[in-house]
Amino acid sequence: MDALVEYPTLHKVLDRYKNAVSILKRGFEQESYRIRKLQQSFLAEQPISTLTSVDIATYRDQRLSEVNPKTGKPLSPSTVRLEMSLLSSVFDVARIEWGLVDENPVTRVRKPKPAPPRTRRLMPREDRIIRKYCEAYSNPELLSIYILALTTAMRQAELLGLRWERIDLKASVAHLPETKNGSSRDVPLSLEAREALMRLGPQPQGRVFTYRAAGLKSVWRAMMRELAIEDLHFHDLRHEAISRLFELGTLDVMEIATISGHKSLAMLKRYTHLRARRLVKKLDAGRKRARQQILTHFIPYPATLEVKSCGTVVVEFPDFGAKHQIIGSEDSIEYTTRALLCQLIATTLARGDQLPTPGYEETDTEPQHSSLYIDPLAA
């Protein structure tokens, strides 16, 4: 009987698991990283048959006390949960298929509580500056990836795995043969999504994007640092895309699940509040529709007022990317500012564009600056 069977350390069993089990998974790269982490722990050189629930609990607590070197923050409980789930799977295979242990000690150890699902929304100002950054970036693929992420709700791996031969621009559909949940799906492509692909120059076959996961991750982090955008992950774009699909008000939950690839509708529960917004419109149907439309669109937006030395005032509406210079008395400036906002809202609606969501953010302004909300319908 070989040494692996007689005196297998966890390190050796992890190698065997990686080569026999992990290699068959779509998430092989991520799981390989977790295996390396486990092999660097104090558990690795102990015989797997001697490991107890106390050892596993000690490993859990040690990992939770560590700091992520990339973020400088405590290690995420979700990271430790994933490592413990992997370790549990290793023990199950070692027990059932390889006969190396009699029990799985991980099952008797509490896992860290999962972090609440992220609900980070993309602010209108962030959307504008990211688009400008991508437009000026040396690789034109970055802008197309960003637009496709926001319009299709595809995951990063699905985007980077796109191939030209699986994109039907005439039918406006992209076929994904393999997805995270194990099944294929067809993703509808909006006009903006098709334009993002056409911008790259369609090919008969081959990968659409040259980016790999690590490269895109590095570029995204650098962009967030340069633009001073905090706590926005690339995966948050998927949440934003799904939120926007709900906010359209024209798709039901099943249709959105078909686009996003969610097998369980329970995963879409976090968007229930967006569905409630649609119900408000139905409740108000037929009741002073014109008034309701005005109250819905002509809402307060943040503005920054800068008083110049010559007595003029520069008013900026960040959500619209508009800046105007006005002059007059205090009352006339207030009136003109509201009128400018009304014009911006009306012009946006006339173009058929979607109005931005008010995105007021507290900033450290200079004394001559004043940040406030402007109500276009104020008396």
Average pLDDT of 38-43? 96
Instruction: Delimit the domains of the chain by residue range.
Output: 3-108, 124-283, 298-374
Please tell me the predicted confidence (pLDDT) of residue 300.
87
pLDDT tier, 111 (very low <50, low <70, confident <90, very high otherwise): very high
Query: Which residue is it, tokens 């660097």?
Result: 40
Rounded CA-CA distance 374/333 in Å is: 12
Please tell me the predicted confidence (pLDDT) of residue 43.
96
Rounded CA-CA distance 67/57 in Å is: 18
Q: Catalytic one among 133, 146, 271, 301?
A: 271
Q: Catalytic one among 12, 18, 155, 194?
A: 155
Please tell me the predicted confidence (pLDDT) of residue 365.
45
Please tell me the predicted confidence (pLDDT) of residue 286.
58
155 is catalytic: yes
Average pLDDT of 293-305? 84
The H-or-E segment that residue 160 falls in is: helix 156-160
Residue 218 C-alpha from the chain's centroid: 15
For domain 124-283, the CATH superfamily is Intergrase catalytic core (1.10.443.10)
Please tell me the predicted confidence (pLDDT) of residue 271.
76
Query: Which residue is it, tokens 């298929």?
Result: 97
180 is catalytic: yes
CATH match of 298-374 with 3.40.50.1970: no
125 is catalytic: no
pLDDT tens profile 70-109 = 777 888 898 999 999 999 999 999 999 999 999 999 999 9
Average pLDDT of 252-281? 75
Q: Is the pLDDT of residue 130 over 50?
A: yes
275 is catalytic: no
3-108: which CATH topology? DNA polymerase; domain 1 (1.10.150)
Q: Catalytic one among 36, 118, 132, 180?
A: 180
Strand positions, DSSP E, 106-216: 167-168, 173-176, 185-188
pLDDT tier, 292 (very low <50, low <70, confident <90, very high otherwise): low
pLDDT tier, 377 (very low <50, low <70, confident <90, very high otherwise): confident
Average per-residue pLDDT in the chain?
Answer: 86
Rounded CA-CA distance 299/279 in Å is: 19
Please tell me the predicted confidence (pLDDT) of residue 285.
61
Please tell me the predicted confidence (pLDDT) of residue 19.
95
More confident residue, 330 or 209: 209
Please tell me the predicted confidence (pLDDT) of residue 208.
96
Q: Catalytic one among 25, 36, 212, 235?
A: 235
262 is catalytic: yes
Could you give the percent of the chain with pLDDT greater than 70?
89
Q: Catalytic one among 34, 60, 238, 239?
A: 238
Q: Catalytic one among 262, 270, 275, 324?
A: 262
Rounded CA-CA distance 12/344 in Å is: 66
Per-residue b or e along 198-230, where b marks 16 or more CB atoms closer than 10 Å to that residue's CB: eeeeeeeeeebbebeeeebeebbeebbeeeebe
Please tell me the predicted confidence (pLDDT) of residue 363.
45
238 is catalytic: yes
